[in-house]
Amino acid sequence: MIKMLVCDIDGTIFDGKNFSQNLKNCINKIRNDGIKFVIATGRTFFSANQVIAPLNVDTPIICYQGAAIYKPSGEIIFEIGIQRDLSLEILDYLKTMDIYPNIYINDKLYAEKETKYVKNYSDTQLIPYTIVKNIKENGFKTLNKILVIDDDSKKIEWITENIKKKYGNGIYTAMSTPYFCEICAPGVSKGNAVKYVADMYNIKKEEIMSCGDQNNDIELITSAGIGVAMGNATDTLKSYADYITDTVYNDGVVKAVNKFIYGVEYASI
């Protein structure tokens, strides 16, 4: 019996513009039936909280690829950041490639250079940003996340592989979209965060269903008894999934819920 449904946001339940009415009805139904609905995203809490407002989420919100878990009120339940020395080393390494990424400290966005990437990200993710000449002047102890963005997906693949080769298990690195390279603290993953939340509710792995669409969702769907990849998911993620549902544009999550929780094929809720 499924007792917790965990979903990524972008490309999984959110099509970039809205949440379908079918999805909202679905979430309300499972909530009324006593099933926990949990969000697991790479977004900041500030950004995620604004986007998911129509869903009336009342459970912990997993942000930063699992590096932080918040109550809906914004109170931090769990947090693991990249230590200052390692953060600065990574940022200096990226500068050698003329890369100036998004830098997240205490759920706020900073950048050391005004670029089209940080501007566009700010607009689309609904999060303000601050330009600083040198992040070293900020007295932070840890960073939430470093995000490299580029229009060239091949460049993002190359950067991701270089970070992995240089730091290995000493850092978490994944592509959350073909154009985003996410860098978080070692040990971070959506899967570990899902286990943390499940333990809060005394829910077992086999009682969890998780849904995602990108390679950073591998740990998310493998942390569940039923791991669902969206129809629009990457081929890599699909290879890890127990089930491949329809796309985000065709209520793929609703259809998976119908199938595995209510035993109904492709009916609306």
CA–CA dist 184, 193 (Å, integer): 13
Q: What is the pLDDT of residues 244-266, one digit of tens each?
A: 999 999 999 999 999 999 998 76
For residues 198-234, b (16+ Cβ closer than 10 Å) or e, as one string? Answer: beeeebeeebbbbbbbbbbbbbbbbbbbbbbbbebbb
- CATH of region 4-79+188-260, choose from 3.90.1310.10, 3.40.50.150, 3.50.50.60, 3.40.50.1000: 3.40.50.1000
What are the distances in angstroms from CA 239 to CA 65, 181, 222, 246? 20, 21, 11, 15
**Residue range 123-151: mean pLDDT, rounded:** 94
For the chain, percent of residues with pLDDT exceeding 70: 99
Amino acid at 70: Y
Domain ranges of the chain: 4-79+188-260, 82-184
CA–CA dist 185, 261 (Å, integer): 34
DSSP label at residue 176: E
82-184 adopts what CATH topology? 3.30.1240
pTM: 0.94
**Residue range 63-67: mean pLDDT, rounded:** 97
CB 84 within 8 A of CB 142: yes
Amino acid at 116: K
Q: What is the pLDDT of residues 176-221, one digit of tens each?
A: 999 999 999 999 999 999 999 999 999 999 999 999 999 999 999 9
Q: What is the pLDDT of residues 150-161, one digit of tens each?
A: 999 999 999 999
Tokens of 228: 């669902």
CB 197 within 8 A of CB 208: no
